[in-house]
Structure 1
Amino acid sequence: MTEEEAIQIAEYVAAACPAQKFGEFTPDVWGEILAPYDVNDARRAVIDLARRQRWISPGEIVDEVKARRAERIELAHVVYDGDPLETGAQSAASRRALITAAADGHLPPRTPAAALGTADRLALPPGEPGPYTKRIAAARAAVGQAVPTAREGVVNPRAIPCRICQALPGTSCEVRGRRMRDVHPARLDDAKRRAAGLPPIDPDAARAAEDRIRAATAALAAQAVTTEET
């Protein structure tokens, strides 16, 4: 908030609370107290406070603004899965930037990821090249990052979708609705094949191979039982 905006807020309070006295240097003091906050948030705080009480202090405006920012963070359901290539410090900075974006009102209220429908999960932000959830899209956009992409020679399993749990690029694998710390082995295998320049495994072919192995195992077991009986 600038000095001129702080004067506007003081005048706003004077208009809302005509019985409240202001001195010559009141706007200067208020300007120093309210400097870290957005003038529009402060103006809305004055309106809410004036509906409840006859006097308004700058500290009460600050408390109201902080409560409004905390509410925005809560309604945004901030989630940042991170990037496996980030350092711990970079991941922490990214999350702080995302929380700040939510508090500033740049992230709209969102439904928790577990309640999102298929159409909502597959929606793309403008200009993004690949599908991933709206939540991760918002996180990446807020911190100026893109969804992780597979790079030649680099094994990054979260840069590709998982054929086991259908996790999208940039998101973690899940088991019964709970996020896994690691990825499914099949996803890691697919990432290794991608890094080695090999074609992806055909899921239908993989299932057919597994069926053949199970059938062969069952046949051998049956043959062993028959041999023992004879």
Structure 2
Amino acid sequence: MTQDEAILLLEYVVAACPAQRVGEFTPDVWGELFAPYSLDEARAAVIVVAARQPFVAPADVITEVKARRAERIELAHVVYDGNPLETGAQSAASRRALITAAADGLLPPRTPAAALGTADRLALPPSTPGPYTNRVAAARAAVGQGIPTAREGVVNPRAIPCRKCQALPGTSCTVRGRRMRDVHPARLGDAKRRAAGLPPIDPAQDRVAEDRIRAATAALAAEDRTVPPASETTQEEPTS
């Protein structure tokens, strides 16, 4: 909020509370106190405070502003999946930017990812640019953070989709609706192949390999069941 906006806010307060005293330096003080906040959110807070008490103190307005910002952050359920190519400081800055965007009302309220169905998780906001336009992409676009893309020679599994859980690029793999700390082995394998310049694995061949492994495992289990225990195959030594 600028100094001129602080004067407008103070005039708004005086209009709501005519009995409130305003001194010569009151606009200067209000300008410093409300510098971190926007005029719109401060004015909305003044309406709430003035509706319940005859005078509007800056502390009461700031408390109301902070409460509404915390509420928007909670409703947005901010989740930053991260980027393996980021440093710790960059990741922390990206998360802070997302939280600030949520507090400013730039991120809409949403259901926690664990409660979302596949169709909702893959919703495509029409205003989000790029080929991967899911909710996380929209959030990162709001703070200037792009979806990670696959680069030649770099193994970044989150830069490609997961054929196991259908996770989109830039998002974490999930198991039964819960985010995984790591990615599915199939996604990691695909990322390694792409980094090496190899074509992706044919899903049909992948299924054939999985069926072959299952059949071999079943055959070994059946063989173990047909072999008698060692105690049954050991014969007693003849007694003299």
Deviation at 1:150, TM superposition (A): 1.4
Which residue of 2 is the match for residue 127 of structure 1? 129
How many residues were matched structurally? 226
Which residue of 1 is the match for residue 232 of structure 2? none
Deviations 1:71-117 (A, max 9, x none): 11111111111111000000001111111111111111122222334
- Give the alignment of 1:139-218 within 5 angstroms: 139-216=139-216, 218=218
Would you say 1:27 and 2:27 are equivalent positions?
Answer: yes
- Give the alignment of 1:1-230 within 5 angstroms: 1-125=1-125, 126-131=128-133, 133-134=134-135, 136-216=136-216, 218=218
- CA distance in 2: counterparts of 1:69 and 1:43, whole angstroms: 14
| Contact persistence 1:128–1:146 (CA under 8 A) | no
| Contact persistence 1:164–1:186 (CA under 8 A) | yes
- CA distance in 2: counterparts of 1:201 and 1:157, whole angstroms: 15
Deviation at 1:225, TM superposition (A): 8.1
Deviation at 1:216, TM superposition (A): 5.0
| Contact persistence 2:116–2:177 (CA under 8 A) | no
Which residue of 1 is the match for residue 238 of structure 2? none
Deviation at 1:220, TM superposition (A): 7.0
Q: Could you say what secondary structure the match of 1:170 adopts?
A: coil
Q: Could you say what secondary structure the match of 1:101 adopts?
A: helix
Aligned-residue CA RMSD (Å): 2.3
Deviation at 1:143, TM superposition (A): 2.7
Alpha-carbon spacing, 1:226–1:111, altered in 2? closer, same or farther (3 Å): closer
What's the % identity of the aligned pairs?
77
TM-score normalized by structure 2?
A: 0.85
Structure 2: give runs of 5+ residues left out of the alignment. 229-240
TM-score normalized by structure 1?
A: 0.88
| Contact persistence 1:193–1:199 (CA under 8 A) | yes
- CA distance in 2: counterparts of 1:87 and 1:223, whole angstroms: 52
Which one has a bigger Cα radius of gyration? Answer: 2
Deviation at 1:159, TM superposition (A): 1.0
- CA distance in 2: counterparts of 1:105 and 1:227, whole angstroms: 68
- CA distance in 1: counterparts of 2:44 and 2:180, whole angstroms: 42
